[in-house]
Structure 1
Amino acid sequence: LFGFGFMMKKWVEGRLFSTFTAGVIAVCVLLFYSLLPYFSHSGKVTMLDIGQGDCFVVELPYRRGVMIVDAGGPPVFSKDKNKTVEQIIAPYLKSRGIQSIDGIFVSHKDIDHSGSVQAMVETFRVSKLFVSDYYEADEKGVEIVRVRPGDRILIANHSFRVLYPKGDSGNPNDNSLVIWSEIGGLTWLFTGDISTENEEELMESYPGIQADVLKVAHHGSDTSSSEEWVEWLKPRINLISAGRDNRYGHPHGEVTQRLEKYGSLYVTKDHGAVQYTFSGSSGTFSTYLPYNASRE
């Protein structure tokens, strides 16, 4: 900003050489910051605070790949269907210099998980949309890839393992795509909106699965996160995306108490966006001002 102001001052004064020099310096500074992620050995996983919905951004080191897990939309009563993209998701991605997204994993069709997907496709260069066999895909302008349990999705040699769903339950929540990955020395489990019945199936199918970080299912609803599930996983970090004063009462008290027995709990309505910055196999968690609180 200073460089641009200095350039305009010299232009008004008619000192064209100084104007050109200031312009070159300003462009070089902007170029340096835009290229910085491509030389950075650190990566990030960010749970964006979008209110009542899910949106996780995974950035691999050296900008080798950018993936998004779910892209929730605005509240159902909102007239602006692109509000979440325009006010939260896109500004964050652009602040990070992100123009291209290698893949968006959409757990299921509910608006609070998929409502911003089409707007994302129209705003950014999105290579692929990964969905289950039971996702009613109507997005345009992007390649739809249907994945099944056992599939391993490789993006820049980074693996995402698909665990669920195995069959059509007839319920979008129970048909949620569940994916597992190892990121920054921690194991991560993204669970969409699965219920306790689905958790039982996962425990039976994957007895050796581990999750240091759990994306808590269904925004902390008591229809998920059973005592057996939490005790089985023993997650060290629990992440819940939920809007302040949401009409569902998420997260439910018994669930948060259950989770806090085993590890730390971060909820967007209280902590804002939560970010894990890592290098190699170690990293740190940070929190940011809640979206709702910043607008009070």
Structure 2
Amino acid sequence: MKTSKSTYTMIISMLAAICIFTFSGCSIGSFPDTGKPDSVDGKKLKVYFLDVGQGASQLLVTPSGKTMLIDAGNNDKEQTMLDYMKKYHISKLDVVIGTHPDADHIGGLDKVIDHIPVTTIYMPKVQSNTKTFESLLKSIKNKGLKVKTAKAGLSWDLDDQVHVEMLAPKGTYEDTNNMSAVVKVTYGKNSFLLTGDAEAESEKAMLASGADLQADVMLVGHHGSNSSTTLKFLKTVNPKYAVIQVGKDNTYGHPKSAVLSRLQKQGIEVYRNDKQGTIEITSDGNSLHIVTER
């Protein structure tokens, strides 16, 4: 049977209409890139740089729901910390790390420990005769916890896919800042270096140790003080992003302009609690997504 030209044209038009109807609503972006996995088993690691004013605190929640809290701001942030635990649905803490005895890092830890079950706690082997430190030790004792010594060389899996390494302190220092526990957290291809108040002396020891310091995200040491974030250390870590935990109108003048300039010259994108509030960084093991409070 011979098909007329008009009939042939009509058939082609109908086929085209069917194709348009079938694929309408689909965009190219909705199809996965099969050449590169979107995530490690489709699960994500969340790292919160909590806004505790002139202090520091980081909360990590792993893909399997394991939790780690590093520091908890100053004494006046106790309720703030409890509010954060409620906001992020933290009913237990698998690991707590008090990086060093300064009040702006451990001030809120006692109340957190009082109200949230803790499995393991790490602190460096350094004492302080402050009421803040004594209050923390009392809370630890009341919960029947035993403090494990935070020091370089420790490592553990927070869950099956999230690895934690403690890179400092490497020795004993008179300055408690240099006794800060420094932690590197790795998930898939992504890594975070969380530095406490570690200063140049501790940074030098970490460099000399030969440890793998490279990280995608770096917590800038000592709130952006001139005593930390030396150029050699910064170049070795080579982060894409830097976070400065600092409060508004702080009396210390943090972060220092020299440190900000150093970060800028290295092409590092900087996030700050005083300007952006709490900073949430999500890793799928391959890429990072950053959301700020403001």
Q: TM above 0.5, one fold?
A: yes
Code of the aligned partner of 1:58: L
Q: How does 1:167-206 map to 2 (within 5 A)?
A: 167-183=171-187, 185-206=189-210
Partners of 1:192 and 1:232 in 2: CA distance:
18
Tell me the C-alpha RMSD between the 2 structures: 1.8
Residue of structure 2 equivalent to 1:85: 78
Show CA shifts across 1:35-91 (max 9, x none): xxxxx933310001000011000001141x0101111214xxxxxxxx4131x2222
Which segments of structure 1 move beyond 6 Å, counting only runs of 4 or more?
none
Unaligned runs of 5+ in 1: 1-39, 75-82, 290-296
Residue of structure 2 equivalent to 1:107: 99
Partners of 2:119 and 2:242 in 1: CA distance:
29
Corresponding pairs, count = 240
Q: How does 1:1-296 map to 2 (within 5 A)?
A: 41-63=43-65, 65-74=66-75, 83-86=76-79, 88-134=80-126, 138=137, 139-140=140-141, 141=143, 142-157=145-160, 158-183=162-187, 185-206=189-210, 208-262=212-266, 263-289=268-294
Query: Which structure has the larger Rg?
Result: 2
Instruction: Give me the identity figure in percent.
Output: 28
Structure 1 residues 163, 116: closer, same or farther in 2, change over 3 A? same
TM-score (norm 1): 0.76
Contact kept? 2:242, 2:271, Cα under 8 Å: yes
Alignment partner of 1:145: what SS? strand
Contact kept? 1:184, 1:282, Cα under 8 Å: no
Contact kept? 1:184, 1:283, Cα under 8 Å: no
Superposed displacement of residue 135, structure 1: 5.0
Show CA shifts across 1:105-160 (max 9, x none): 11100001111111110011111211122356723323311133211133233321
Partners of 1:60 and 1:152 in 2: CA distance:
16
Structure 1 residues 153, 272: closer, same or farther in 2, change over 3 A? same
Partners of 1:212 and 1:277 in 2: CA distance:
12
Contact kept? 2:163, 2:187, Cα under 8 Å: no
Code of the aligned partner of 1:193: D
Superposed displacement of residue 288, structure 1: 0.6
Show CA shifts across 1:213-265 (max 9, x none): 11110000011111222222221110110010000000001101111222100
